[in-house]
Amino acid sequence: MAAQWAKTVRALADGREIRYYDSELRERSATDTRDLAPVESRSHTTLDALTGEWITHATHRQTRTFLPSTDLCPLCPSVSGRATEIPEPDYEVVVFDNRFSAFAGGPGHCDVVCFTSAHDTTFAALGLARARMVVDVWADRTADLTARDGVAQVFCFENHGEEIGVTLSHPHGQIYAYPFITPRAEKILVSADRHRRETGRDLFEDVLARERDDENRIVATNDEWLAFVPVAARWPFEVQLFPRRRVADIPDLDDSQRDGFADLYLDMLQRFAALFDESMPYIAAWNQAPATHRDAWWLHMQLFSIRRAPGKLKYLAGSESAMGAFINDTDPAAVAAQLRAAR
């Protein structure tokens, strides 16, 4: 399905932007009636000289909203007598500047992406049309943020489940525009460069060829995308989704690729949800090209859960948290078989 949506940009009471994405043009004229103080800028990034990684310190985030009751949810539409972050009485998809941005006052930026106005639902239950709209929203915001001065990499993601650390249960995700290249991306770029120098081949192409040849870890596919458990999976349940045709980022995806992703991604989320008779917390993380390395990248998504078994979570303890050396209690091929059977 080709994208059909309209965007309306408005201002919140403290000057932050809010963007309404609708399946057809609608008047979005509601005013934010709250008395909000200007956003305070208390963020700064510091380079760890030992690891070469950038650390962001954002002390103002200590006061962000934490596990409010449903009737106080700041991501639900505004109603008479209670104004929220979204002034309108209803919406389809909304993106607004995060009041508690990790990069307030600096060259980076943080968005909040609300997938639906319905509070008690999940991304997996959105339906194909809404999921496809969200892909377009990710693409629109990625294109805008990548073009900004000082932005090195754009990261779209969703944290789902209180066990993951979600502090607002309303279905939503976030977008970070980093003023630096993230450690994961740096490592991938180094590996890709080394692989090309040593073999003369492309690392991403070889990884996908290996997964296609060894079908044991493939969970599901369609004409445009491949979903598999990586051979070196570090999380108990982890799937990577790769487009069959190479692109650098979400804006590069054509309509067929966006359609194919929405369909396969919903399928993966539903498989995760069907694994156990309890909630499956997850992180969905887009790996987009750093702004200065587009030709060396292949867009992909990581979808993973910290739940390793019913009633058991994977905690990042000494080896993982201190040394970054992961120890996984599950077998990638066995996990892929579980996911193939889960529906």
Give 9-25 as a DSSP string. Answer: EEE-TTS-EEEEEESS-
Is residue 276 within 8 A of residue 342, CB to CB? The reply is no
Has residue 86 got a pLDDT over 80?
Answer: yes
Confidence of residue 1 (pLDDT cuts 50, 70, 90): low
Place of tokens 């310190």: 57
Class of domain 6-26+53-182: alpha beta
Residues 6+ apart with CB under 8 A from 308: 236, 237, 314, 329, 330
Instruction: Indicate the helix (H) or strand (E) that contains 211.
Output: helix 203-213
Residue 15 has pLDDT above 90, yes or no: yes
For residue 285, count other CB atoms closer than 10 A to its CB: 18
Is 76 annotated in a binding site? The answer is: yes
> In whole angstroms, what is the distance from residue 141 CA to residue 251 CA?
9
Please list the active-site residues: 172
Poorest-confidence range of 2-11, 179-188, 216-225, 331-340?
Answer: 2-11
Q: Is residue 73 part of an annotated ligand binding site?
A: yes
223-281: pLDDT as tens digits: 999 999 999 999 999 999 999 999 999 999 999 999 999 999 999 999 999 999 999 99
- Amino acid 3: pLDDT: 57
Average pLDDT over residues 306-323: 95
CATH of 184-341, one of 3.30.565.10, 3.30.360.10, 3.40.50.300, 3.30.428.10: 3.30.428.10
Query: CB-based contacts of 289: which residues, under 8 Å, 6+ apart?
Result: 153, 248, 249, 296, 297, 299
User: Does residue 81 carry a pLDDT above 80?
Assistant: yes
**Which position has the higher pLDDT, 221 or 2?**
221
* pLDDT given at position 44: 86
Parse the chain into domains and list their residue ranges: 6-26+53-182, 184-341
Residues of the chain with pLDDT > 90, as a percent, come to: 90
How confident is residue 77, by pLDDT bands cut at 50, 70 and 90?
very high
For 183-233, the pLDDT digits (tens) are 999 999 999 999 999 999 999 999 999 999 999 999 999 999 999 999 999
Q: Once rounded to an integer, what is the mean pLDDT over residues 115-143?
A: 98
**What is the residue-averaged pLDDT of the chain?**
95
Say which range, 58-67, 123-132, 133-142, has the weakest mean pLDDT: 58-67
Q: Which pLDDT belongs to residue 67?
A: 76
**What predicted TM-score, i.e. pTM, was given to this entire model?**
0.96
pLDDT value of residue 61: 82
For residues 72-84, average pLDDT: 96
pLDDT band at 42 (very low <50, low <70, confident <90, very high): confident
* Percentage of residues in the chain having pLDDT higher than 70: 99
